[in-house]
Structure 1
Amino acid sequence: MSARKTEQETAVRHPRETPDLFGHRKAETALLSAYRSGRIPHAWLIGGAQGIGKATLAYRMARFVLSHRDPLAPSVQRAESLAVDPSDPVARQVTAGAHGGLLVLERGLNDRGVLRTVITVDETRETISFFGSTAAEDGWRVCIVDTVDELNPNAANALLKVLEEPPQRSLFLLVSHAPARALPTILSRCRKLPLRPLATSDVMRAAAGATEIAADDPALAEAAAAADGSVGRALNLLGGDALKLQQRTAAMLATLPRVDPRELHALGDALGTSDRVALAAFIDGIDRWIGEKLRVDDANANLPRLARLAEVWEKIIRAARDTESYNLERKPLVFSVFSMLAEATR
């Protein structure tokens, strides 16, 4: 199968459907060692760049714990990884989203059937009843939060209440693209597990495993090389002219704070009106650029610009989510993004 497919043609498996994990052996070993010690911390914050396998690792850990309820059992003590046979009944239930011992907090649909931009407090309060009930099948209860970055303030506080008094045999796996921005009170109750960007070869293998794309497809190799270690980014770059669009965005970012209105119009036209792949490529390019600037400013202790860029990043993410959720025009978003970035970098 060629990697040159449209977004509709290239089906990507959800992390709960992905049994394999690539490039995060150290993090996987940390989780496995903690579990079989019999004294595993009840909450983990799995942090790192978007699309590198954080949620895949979280679901992998959930499957292992739910299918191996006794951490001191010989099978657990002998285990070399968190792998669970996809044919295992627990694995099948997790894949289907039907295991009673697993609760997943993620953005849901509102009353109009539109994907929310945040995880709400009502959704988060499900953890109270979930962890307050008898453990499913007399085993562990696991909660995956994907992502903690998308909790609104009330939802974050509701989650914190459960984290402060965790029931026995409970495990929280919090996924975060920006763990430093999580509530300090949440951070203090979690074991940090940072994941690094993947090697290009691992990006290719993981992308092939998440789709039906051949691992040696030349288009996949080109996208993986430009993905900075992110499987999600590589998959986004495979759609149509997404890679060229991201390169075009990068060229415009390099001229900031100067902005060419003609180029902005052209970029807005290139995003189209409903192409989700193009929008994802544009926002991903912005995210990479801001991330690099934040790292440089942090290293140089440029605190004023660091604060400005962090604030702008939050506004851009919210605007992008609204644009995607409500299928808004892309060109106003392009002008708004570059206007904010030009102001922040002057």
Structure 2
Amino acid sequence: MTDPTALPDLPLPEQRQLAIGHDAARQAILAQLGEGHLPGAIMLHGPQGIGKATLAFELAATILTTTGDEPAHRVREQVQAMSHPNLSVLRRRPKDAKGYYTVIRVEDVRELRDALHHTRGRAGHRIAILDSIDDCNPSAANALLKTLEEPPADTTFFLISHRPGSLLPTIKSRCHNLALRPLAGGQVRDLVAASVADLDAETLDRAVQLAGGRPRRAFETLALSEASPVGALLAWLQDPLAMPNAVHLQLADALGSDAQGTDMSFAREILADWMATEMREAAIAGVDRRRLASATDLWDKASALLGEADSVNLDMKQTLAVIFDAIRKHCAISAVPVEPA
């Protein structure tokens, strides 16, 4: 099963099988394994690119080894090759030679469900990894819910989610939920330095700084060209109202020219982080309800616009222009002082 989000020249989560950090989550699952009481479904959620899928494959290999009858090195080899008969992985599937479906479809979930109800290929527990459940369309999510309500015996689902707030509450309620946090800067630095040869200190420092605790983002930073508009986006987000009106239109044109490119992928994460920070800071401040309401509306609008652009292949340049304009309007609202009661 190919990974539609794979970065060039970097090992996939199933190939790495060793997550950096996340010790509390790891120990929680290993303790349940040791007691013989693994949950039917485990949701690993947190920002994209912090190692959730890698941890899922690491734990899958450990569970398959502990409950099976093969040595650890043999199980790891099979997980790496995606050939272990007790391991199933569901990701967005190839649509054609040029790309992938934008969602996990209901027929994909049904195929997984049917496979899990067949006689297991080997002794031991079975593992199903959904990377990520956020990609399920509504029909697929409902089909998955039915499976979680009546799971096959001795089977554990690992559901990877970057946006758990957008999932069906009934799915989350069926899972043992574990929140994973961004890594420390030193951990990101060590991982990047070990993965990329001959990296100069200045480039490494920039990658770690922009990563925000996400190794994936650090690697994406290294893939950006010197002419990438991502740096201009970061500068614009520092104070959108201080920039001329034409700047955000130029940014939209530059970033939206390749909707599937590295620059656009990086920009989407940066925008999501910025809006999430706005909502969090507005909620913490608790003084100006307009700011929180505006930030929430901005999040909903941007999520809907990007989702629509993905699903029906709309012009990403126009989509970004509308989102950037909404950000400016939100900043204008936030800049207006709150009159004392």
Q: TM-score surpassing 0.5?
A: yes
Q: Residue type of the partner of 1:46?
A: L
1:186 positional shift: 0.6
Cα distance in 1 between the residues matched to 2:225 and 2:130? 33
Residues 239-275 of structure 1, C-alpha deviations (whole Å, 9 max, x = no match): 2347973342133234446873421243245437448
The residue that corresponds to 2:147 in the other structure is: 162
Residues 128-149 of structure 1, C-alpha deviations (whole Å, 9 max, x = no match): 2122111220221111111111
Is the alpha carbon distance of 1:281 and 1:113 closer, same or farther for their aligned partners in structure 2, counting shifts above 3 Å? Answer: closer
1:169 positional shift: 0.9
C-alpha contact (below 8 Å) 1:140/1:169 kept by paired residues = yes
Cα distance in 1 between the residues matched to 2:325 and 2:7? 35
C-alpha contact (below 8 Å) 2:295/2:330 kept by paired residues = no
Q: Residue type of the partner of 2:81?
A: A
Is the alpha carbon distance of 1:223 and 1:242 closer, same or farther for their aligned partners in structure 2, counting shifts above 3 Å? Answer: farther
Residues 178-210 of structure 1, C-alpha deviations (whole Å, 9 max, x = no match): 21221110111111111111001111233345x
1:219 aligns to 2:217 (yes or no): no
The residue that corresponds to 1:5 in the other structure is: none
1:332 aligns to 2:330 (yes or no): no
Higher mean Cα deviation, 235-244 or 177-186?
235-244
Cα distance in 2 between the residues matched to 1:157 and 1:17? 30
Cα distance in 2 between the residues matched to 1:242 and 1:49? 26
SS at match of 2:77: helix
Structure of greater relative contact order (alpha carbons < 8 Å, 6+ residues apart): 1
Q: Structure 2: any 5+ residue segments left out of the alignment?
A: 1-5, 334-341
C-alpha contact (below 8 Å) 1:236/1:242 kept by paired residues = no
1:203 aligns to 2:182 (yes or no): no
Greater than 6 Å deviation, 4+ residue runs: none
Is the alpha carbon distance of 1:253 and 1:215 closer, same or farther for their aligned partners in structure 2, counting shifts above 3 Å? Answer: closer
Is the alpha carbon distance of 1:338 and 1:294 closer, same or farther for their aligned partners in structure 2, counting shifts above 3 Å? Answer: same
Cα RMSD of the aligned pairs, angstroms, is 3.0
Is the alpha carbon distance of 1:259 and 1:150 closer, same or farther for their aligned partners in structure 2, counting shifts above 3 Å? Answer: farther
Cα distance in 2 between the residues matched to 1:41 and 1:223? 37
Cα distance in 2 between the residues matched to 1:62 and 1:104? 11
The residue that corresponds to 2:56 in the other structure is: 58
C-alpha contact (below 8 Å) 1:127/1:162 kept by paired residues = no
- Say which of 42, 47, 52 aligns to 1:49: 47
1:304 aligns to 2:296 (yes or no): no
C-alpha contact (below 8 Å) 2:275/2:295 kept by paired residues = no
The residue that corresponds to 2:84 in the other structure is: 99
Cα distance in 1 between the residues matched to 2:17 and 2:141? 29
Normalised to the residue count of structure 1, the TM-score between the two structures is 0.82
Residues 293-324 of structure 1, C-alpha deviations (whole Å, 9 max, x = no match): 1222443564633541331242254256469x
1:173 positional shift: 0.5
1:246 aligns to 2:230 (yes or no): yes
C-alpha contact (below 8 Å) 1:106/1:147 kept by paired residues = yes
SS at match of 2:206: helix
Cα distance in 1 between the residues matched to 2:267 and 2:147? 37
Is the alpha carbon distance of 1:46 and 1:242 closer, same or farther for their aligned partners in structure 2, counting shifts above 3 Å? Answer: farther
Cα distance in 2 between the residues matched to 1:307 and 1:19? 37
C-alpha contact (below 8 Å) 2:61/2:75 kept by paired residues = yes
Cα distance in 2 between the residues matched to 1:137 and 1:159? 24
Q: Residue type of the partner of 1:234?
A: A
Q: Residue type of the partner of 1:172?
A: F
The residue that corresponds to 1:262 in the other structure is: 246
Is the alpha carbon distance of 1:222 and 1:257 closer, same or farther for their aligned partners in structure 2, counting shifts above 3 Å? Answer: closer
1:333 positional shift: 3.9
1:124 positional shift: 0.8
- Say which of 269, 274, 281 aligns to 1:284: 269
SS at match of 1:99: coil
Cα distance in 1 between the residues matched to 2:311 and 2:219? 22
SS at match of 1:137: coil
Cα distance in 2 between the residues matched to 1:186 and 1:226? 33
Cα distance in 1 between the residues matched to 2:200 and 2:126? 40
- Say which of 300, 303, 310 aligns to 1:314: 303
Q: Structure 1: any 5+ residue segments left out of the alignment?
A: 1-7, 76-83
SS at match of 1:20: coil
1:214 positional shift: 5.4
Count of residue pairs brought into register by the alignment? 322
C-alpha contact (below 8 Å) 2:17/2:55 kept by paired residues = no
Q: Residue type of the partner of 2:294?
A: R
Percent identity of equivalent pairs: 31
Matching of residues 76-155 of structure 1 within 5 Å? 88-110=73-95, 113-155=98-140
Q: Residue type of the partner of 1:284?
A: E
1:93 positional shift: 1.6
Q: Residue type of the partner of 1:26?
A: A
- Say which of 37, 59, 66 aligns to 2:35: 37
Normalised to the residue count of structure 2, the TM-score between the two structures is 0.83
Q: Residue type of the partner of 1:224?
A: V
Q: Residue type of the partner of 2:66?
A: H
The residue that corresponds to 2:67 in the other structure is: 69
